[in-house]
Structure 1
Amino acid sequence: MITVYIDKISYYLPELSKALSESGIMILISLVAAIVLGLPLGTFVYLTKKIPTNSNYWIGIFLNGYINIIRSFPFLLFVVALIPFTRFILGTAFGTYAASLPLSFVAVAIYARLVEQVLLEIPNDILELARSLGSTKFQLIFRFLYVEARSGLVLALTSVVISMVSYSTVMGVIGGGGIGDFAIRYGYQRYEYAVMYTAIVIMIIFVSFIQISGSWFAKRINKK
């Protein structure tokens, strides 16, 4: 029994390796997008609530609406609806890199909202201290807000990565591949349930590793 199982896994090992690399590419691209775009977006939305001005009020409302719409949109329908835009930007709507675009949109929106929530938990005393010291907005963000909230920001990013692992499993609908597509095509559709469950176990281990690593790092940098 064990020998048959090992033989099946060995037979599908090239496809499994390819699927893992495709999932890795999609998750990495969406993670970079979340950090580069989601972090400043969430910070700006936070500032429009804590330090409202006439110039940023309507921008804050627009960005808030963008975050709400993306997060509430059914993901599979969002992927399909974004196909024309993906084709316009990348020249194709199929493949791993094309699948990374809708994932990046969702990652940015999710992380932006989580960043806002983490920053809202910072005591108002920190803002008052920054104002009393005459801090610029740049100093307020990088020397006060991010320093105070760094542990929460890491945990929020960990949650985003785990969500992207889950979302990436459905990207086979546009030829994105990945471990989820591998489990469906080579496991479920071929009645090779051992292959399917192996892929599921790999995803569980991967998610557990991400959560443990993120929690450990967040605890390590928490100076409260």
Structure 2
Amino acid sequence: MPFDWTAFWPQLAEAAKQTTSMVSFSLLFSALLGIPIGVILVVTRDGHILANRFVFTVLNSIINILRSIPFIILLVAIIPFTRLVVGTSIGTAAAIVPLVAYAAPYIGRLIENSLLEVDKGVIEAAQAMGATPWQIIWRFLIPEALSSLVLALTIATIGLIGASAMAGAVGGGGLGDLAITYGYQQFKTEIMLVTVALLVLFVQVLQTFGNILSKKIRRR
């Protein structure tokens, strides 16, 4: 029986909308958690403005543990927590919870790496001017690393797109769910190719936008 492409295009549009929603909300919540994590990892390390070995060691260990868990396993492992938060373990809203748990530590590491690139001379100059730790973070550390931070968040967003596709394996909706339902289970190779092409397009657009924005910030 030939595949009904007329009925498929609205489904593709809805799946793309679900993927965009998943990635957008996951990125928002992940950034709200990950950016402070990255900042804390930097300022509490030995020799920095708020050095605290205990805080750094504990937080660093937690991030390492979370980042070592493959997303597909994390997705299943926190189903009880997902149900507690959104009331269900299936659907787009449910997929956001494990996506945040997966991306927040990842963003934290990316932010940490970006902030560590800032010249120590900038921080020493800020301290010499009498800036408080809070002022150093917001007026010197983050602005100096802003171009790198944009690229870091771009990488994290692309990672979320890939993870959101995997969420389709457990009924998370989006393009991944569409690819599995039609492309894999019904052996419709052309459907798989269309969804993969759309995911590639998403990634290309995001990476290009991130590169342009980062370059503009660097020139300033």
TM range (shorter): over 0.9
Once the two structures are TM-superposed, the CA of residue 52 in structure 1 deviates from its matched residue by 6.6
8 Å CA contact 1:27–1:161 kept in 2: the answer is yes
Q: Say if 2:16 is the partner of 1:20.
A: yes
Q: 1:51 aligns with which of 48, 53, 56?
A: 48
Once the two structures are TM-superposed, the CA of residue 74 in structure 1 deviates from its matched residue by 1.2
Structure 1 runs not aligned, ≥5 long? none
Secondary structure, in 3 states, of the residue corresponding to 2:173?
coil
Structure 2 runs not aligned, ≥5 long? none
Once the two structures are TM-superposed, the CA of residue 81 in structure 1 deviates from its matched residue by 0.4
8 Å CA contact 1:22–1:176 kept in 2: the answer is no
8 Å CA contact 2:19–2:175 kept in 1: the answer is yes
**Structure 2: how far apart are the matches of 1:180 and 1:95?**
12
Secondary structure, in 3 states, of the residue corresponding to 2:44?
helix
Q: What does 1:37-76 align with in structure 2 at a 5 Å threshold?
A: 37-49=33-45, 50-51=47-48, 56-76=52-72
Letter matched to residue 179 of structure 1: L
Stretch moving more, 155-164 or 175-184:
175-184
**Structure 2: how far apart are the matches of 1:134 and 1:8?**
69
Letter matched to residue 76 of structure 1: I
Q: Say if 2:191 is the partner of 1:200.
A: no
8 Å CA contact 1:172–1:180 kept in 2: the answer is yes
8 Å CA contact 2:17–2:174 kept in 1: the answer is yes
Q: What does 1:159-178 align with in structure 2 at a 5 Å threshold?
A: 159-178=155-174
8 Å CA contact 2:37–2:108 kept in 1: the answer is yes
**Structure 1: how far apart are the matches of 2:65 and 2:189?**
37
Once the two structures are TM-superposed, the CA of residue 173 in structure 1 deviates from its matched residue by 3.1
Q: Say if 2:76 is the partner of 1:80.
A: yes
For residues 12-59 of structure 1, the C-alpha deviation after alignment (integer angstroms, 9 at most, x for no partner) is: 0121112111111110111102221111110011001142757x4322
**Structure 2: how far apart are the matches of 1:10 and 1:133?**
66
Q: 2:25 aligns with which of 17, 22, 29?
A: 29
Letter matched to residue 193 of structure 2: Y
**Structure 2: how far apart are the matches of 1:26 and 1:53?**
35
Once the two structures are TM-superposed, the CA of residue 8 in structure 1 deviates from its matched residue by 4.6
**Structure 2: how far apart are the matches of 1:137 and 1:53?**
7
Letter matched to residue 206 of structure 1: F
**Structure 2: how far apart are the matches of 1:72 and 1:110?**
10
Q: Partner of 2:7 in structure 1? A: 11
Q: What does 1:131-142 align with in structure 2 at a 5 Å threshold?
A: 131-142=127-138
**Structure 1: how far apart are the matches of 2:4 and 2:195?**
13
**Structure 1: how far apart are the matches of 2:179 and 2:169?**
13
Flag as ranges the 4+ runs of structure 1 deviating above 6 A: none
For residues 197-220 of structure 1, the C-alpha deviation after alignment (integer angstroms, 9 at most, x for no partner) is: 011111111100000000000001
**Structure 2: how far apart are the matches of 1:151 and 1:8?**
46
Distance 1:52 1:219, change over 3 A: closer
8 Å CA contact 2:169–2:180 kept in 1: the answer is no
Q: Partner of 2:144 in structure 1? A: 148
